[in-house]
């Protein structure tokens, strides 16, 4: 019998398998690193892979273009390194020793040059980061340089580079390798957020929640803003929405600010990987309440998931943003809401994730602020979300949607001046595992379609949707009714109870059937009790 040969593992055949394979490989690198350092290492590697792939892709395109013009190899070599040929196409310049092919070839260490000791892969990656930042001023100070620390396993780092190098980031006939790297980056962000628990919530909003905001607001042109942008998920989802609806991403300009330095760096890399221009991202991290980096701009759309119920925040007593009342020191919820309202252009709209308490709290003057906002007719829709959507917090959450103009013709054919739509979506979603819920595509569509039907949006007209109240799910209410409820905005208060499904069985027949079933169960219980008594009697 011939000796058995070890079967080589098959290459990942689907995008899910590829992402899972890369995650398992990356997870082996963790070692003694803390979660935030480990996250920087892995996301930095993905970014290096992205910029290198994009550069090589553009380099081959330039070579083909010049060859078609009749140039020989010598002439091509003189022109192919012109930075403008890359930067002008939104591609970062990547020097030779920062390219992935160079790193992969030397993943096991370089031989010593003269008296110098051999370089390990961590040193090479650090140098690659420096080279990329040096060649691209917009990336200055953005990329991590932490690979050469003692707690980074150099052998596993080399193996991870090998795996990234051999992974097939391509689709036959659709997209580019860097599109798939964008998917991997998002996947890793989600995995890191889950691994870090509460801290992960600082930079990651569950994708299904972001999709609800984007699908309701439909941002296809103008300025899109996030005052606490985390890793940039709102902008990435906006770009996807535009792409899915065959729009032009260039019609949208993004503006963002982030208070955490590491998270700001993640956002810069995330936007670059997705090919989204980040000139509107603040050029450094900073507290939005202390200094608004976009103070002079008004926005067409605001999408935000501010940190919930912040007690320690910088509050200026005199601030032009506090139009509807000074928010309390011990909770920043209504500071975020008023900041967002202050940014809206005359026809602007906003979607904001908030803790449920914001809908009904009357403490520290919050009820008065909410009442003034409602009376100003700025609230267009309130959505109560199901629990467990956020692994990082057990706080129940809701969505506030604002609109500066609800009249007919202002992004909708139906005049909704003086009205608010309430949607109770607490029964939607499915459990991903025992700890986390997610909204399915049909759940997201149900919420968005309901809003657009209510508003008479073009998308609803195209689908033939017409709005009507659905007991237990949605209802439209006038401001007078909301005032009568002390300006509480909890959807469950207004949508009522859902109608019981009529199964067609007459009531008298149903009562008789259920009564007979009950008697039958009681008889069975009595028989089982008698058998049990007899068995116990034999034992004693």
Q: Which helix (H) or strand (E) holds 339?
A: helix 333-343
Q: State how far the Cα of 48 lies from the Cα of 235, in Å rounded to an integer.
A: 21
Q: Are residues 92 and 227 in the same domain?
A: no
pTM (2 d.p.): 0.81
- pLDDT tens-digit profile of 41-52? 888 888 888 888
Q: Which of 6-15, 388-397, 437-446 has the highest mean predicted lDDT (pLDDT)? A: 437-446
CATH code assigned at 304: 3.40.50.150
Query: Considering the domain boundaries, does residue 518 fall inside one?
Result: no
- Quick one: 296 and 385 in the same domain? yes
Name residue, tokens 């202050």. Answer: 342
The answer on 314 and 422 residing in a single domain is: yes
- Are 325 and 466 contained in the same domain? yes
Q: How far apart are CA 187 and CA 233, in angstroms?
A: 12
505 falls within a domain: no
Phi, psi of 379 (to 5 degrees): -85, 125
- Average pLDDT value for residue range 193-216: 79
409 and 321, same structural domain?
Answer: yes
What is the C-alpha to C-alpha distance for residues 324 and 316, in angstroms, rounded to an integer? Answer: 15
CA–CA separation, 293 vs 284, rounded Å? 9
224 lies in the same domain as 143? no
Helix/strand/coil (H, E, C) string of 479-519?
HHHHHHCCCCCCCHHHHCCCCCCCCCCCHHHHHHHHHHHHH
pLDDT of residue 105: 83
- CA 480, chain centre distance (Å): 36
Beta-bridge partner residues of 398: 354, 384
Rounded Cα–Cα distance for residues 412 and 460 (Å): 9
Render pLDDT for 98-150 as a digit per residue (tens, 0 to 9). 998 888 888 755 544 443 555 678 888 889 999 999 999 888 888 887 666 66
Q: What is the pLDDT of residues 394-432, one digit of tens each?
A: 788 999 999 999 999 888 899 999 999 999 999 999 998
Question: How far is residue 143's CA from residue 230's CA, in Å, rounded to a whole number?
Answer: 16
Instruction: With respect to residue 141, please indicate whether it lies within any of the assigned structural domains.
Output: yes
My answer on whether 205 and 98 are in the same domain is no
> Looking at the 3D structure of the chain, how many domains does it have?
2
> Could you report the per-residue pLDDT of 437-490, keeping only the tens digit for each?
999 999 999 999 999 999 999 999 999 999 999 999 999 999 999 999 999 999
Which domain range does residue 93 map to? 15-175
Percent of the chain with pLDDT over 90: 44
**452-468 core/surface letters (b: 16 or more CB in 10 A; e: else):** bbbbbbebbeeeeeebe
CB of 498 within 8 A of CB of 504?
A: no
What is the average per-residue pLDDT within 232-245? 91
Q: What average pLDDT does the segment 265-271 reach? A: 87
Asked if 428 and 439 count as a contact pair (C-beta separation under 8 A), the reply is yes
CA within 13 Å, CB half, 352: 31
- Please tell me whether residues 249 and 130 are part of one structural domain: no
- Give the DSSP per-residue string, 141-161: TTS---TTSTTS-HHHHHHHH
Radius of gyration for the alpha carbons in the chain, expressed in angstroms and rounded: 29
Q: Are both 234 and 379 inside the same structural domain?
A: yes
* 321 pLDDT above the threshold of 70: yes
Q: How far apart are CA 317 and CA 504, in angstroms?
A: 62
Q: What is the CATH number of the domain that holds 102?
A: 1.20.1260.30
């Amino acid at each position: 019998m011939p000796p058995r040969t070890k079967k080589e593992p098959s290459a990942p055949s689907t995008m899910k398998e590829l992402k899972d394979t890369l995650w398992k490989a990356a997870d082996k690198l963790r070692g003694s690193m803390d979660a935030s350092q480990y996250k920087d290492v892995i996301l930095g590697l993905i970014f290096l892979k992205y910029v290198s792939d994009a550069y090589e892709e553009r380099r081959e395109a330039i070579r083909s273009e010049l060859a078609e013009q009749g140039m020989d190899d010598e002439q091509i070599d003189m022109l192919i390194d012109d930075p403008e040929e890359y930067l002008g196409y939104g591609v970062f310049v990547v020097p030779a020793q920062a390219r992935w092919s160079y790193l992969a070839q030397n993943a096991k260490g370089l031989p010593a040059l003269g008296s110098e000791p051999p370089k390990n892969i961590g040193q090479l990656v650090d140098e690659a980061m420096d080279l990329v930042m040096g060649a691209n001023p917009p990336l200055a100070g953005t990329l991590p340089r932490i690979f050469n620390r003692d707690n980074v396993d150099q052998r596993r780092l080399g193996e991870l580079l090998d795996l990234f190098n051999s992974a097939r980031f391509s689709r036959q006939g659709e997209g580019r390798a860097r599109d798939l790297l964008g998917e991997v980056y998002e996947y890793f962000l989600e995995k890191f957020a889950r691994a870090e628990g509460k801290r992960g919530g600082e930079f990651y909003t569950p994708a299904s929640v972001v999709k609800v905001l984007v699908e309701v607001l439909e941002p296809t042109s103008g300025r899109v803003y996030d005052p606490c942008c985390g890793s940039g998920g709102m902008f990435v989802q906006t770009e996807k929405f535009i792409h899915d609806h065959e729009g032009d991403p260039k019609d949208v300009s993004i503006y963002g600010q982030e208070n955490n330095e590491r998270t700001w760096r993640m956002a810069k890399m995330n936007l670059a990987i997705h090919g989204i221009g980040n000139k509107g991202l603040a050029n450094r991290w900073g507290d939005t309440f202390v200094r608004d980096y976009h103070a002079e701009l008004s926005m067409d759309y605001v999408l935000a998931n501010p940190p919930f119920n912040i007690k320690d925040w910088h509050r200026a007593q005199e601030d032009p943003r506090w139009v509807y009342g000074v928010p309390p020191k011990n909770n920043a919820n209504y500071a975020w809401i008023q900041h967002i309202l202050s940014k809206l252009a005359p026809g602007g709209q906003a979607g904001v994730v908030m803790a449920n308490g914001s809908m009904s709290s009357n403490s520290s003057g919050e009820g008065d602020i909410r009442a003034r906002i409602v009376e100003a007719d700025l609230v267009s829709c309130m959505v109560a979300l199901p629990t467990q959507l956020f692994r990082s917090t057990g706080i129940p959450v809701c969505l506030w949607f604002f609109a500066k103009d609800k009249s007919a013709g202002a992004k909708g054919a139906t005049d909704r001046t003086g009205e608010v739509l309430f949607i109770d979506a607490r029964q939607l979603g499915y459990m991903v595992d025992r700890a986390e819920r997610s909204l399915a595509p049909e759940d997201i569509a149900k919420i968005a379609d309901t809003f657009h039907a209510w508003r008479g949006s073009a998308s609803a007209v195209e689908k033939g949707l017409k709005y009507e109240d659905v007991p237990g799910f949605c209802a439209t209410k006038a401001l007078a009714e909301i005032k009568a409820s002390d300006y509480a905005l909890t959807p469950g208060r207004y949508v009522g109870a859902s109608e019981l499904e009529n199964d067609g069985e007459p009531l008298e027949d149903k009562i008789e059937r259920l009564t007979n079933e009950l008697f039958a169960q009681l008889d069975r219980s009595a028989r089982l009790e008698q058998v049990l008594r007899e068995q116990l009697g034999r034992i004693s």
